Amino acid sequence: MEQLKDIKDFKYFEIDWSFYLIYLLAIIAFLSFFLYLKYKKKQKLTTKQKAINYLKALDFNLLSDKEIVYNFTIYSKIALKDEFEKRRTQLVEQTQRYKYQKNPPPLDETIKTEIKRYINECL
C-alpha cells in the first residue's frame, strides 16, 4: 500500500462571474435599445398636416402676391375642413383676378387680412 500514491484533493476553480454579468447586461441593453427603436411610433406628418403647417408659415412679406394666392389656393384645399368650404370658395373667387396673369395687380390688404383670418380661424 505504500506504493499507492495519495489521491489529490479536488480543487474548485473560482470563476469570476462579474465579467459574464457585465457582458449579459450589455447584451440586454443593446437588444432593448434596438427593440425600442423598432417599436417606437414615429409620427409621420400626413399631407393634411403638412399643408396646415405650410399655411401657418405662409409669409406675406417675402412672397409675391401671385405666390401667396397660388399657395393659399392649393394648400387650403388640402387642409380644408368641410364646414369652411363656403368661405374658402369665396376667398378663392376673390383671388381669381390675381392668378393666370404675367403681372398681376398688387393684392388688396383686405384680401390679405381675410386670408390670414381664414388661416387662423379655420385651421
The residue type of 24 is L
Total-model pTM: 0.61
Closest C-alpha to 87, from 74, 76, 99:
76
pLDDT tens string 20-36? 999 999 999 999 999 88
Mutual angle of helices 109-122 and 85-94, in 10-degree steps: 160
Average confidence (pLDDT) over 7-14:
74
Average confidence (pLDDT) over 8-15:
76
Query: How much is the pLDDT for 4?
Result: 65
114 pLDDT tier (thresholds 50, 70, 90): very high
Which range has the worst mean pLDDT, 1-5, 42-46, 76-80, 114-118? 1-5
2 pLDDT tier (thresholds 50, 70, 90): low
Vertex 85: Cα angle to 80 and 89 (nearest 5): 110
**Max CA distance (Å), the chain:** 123
pLDDT averaged over every residue in the chain: 86
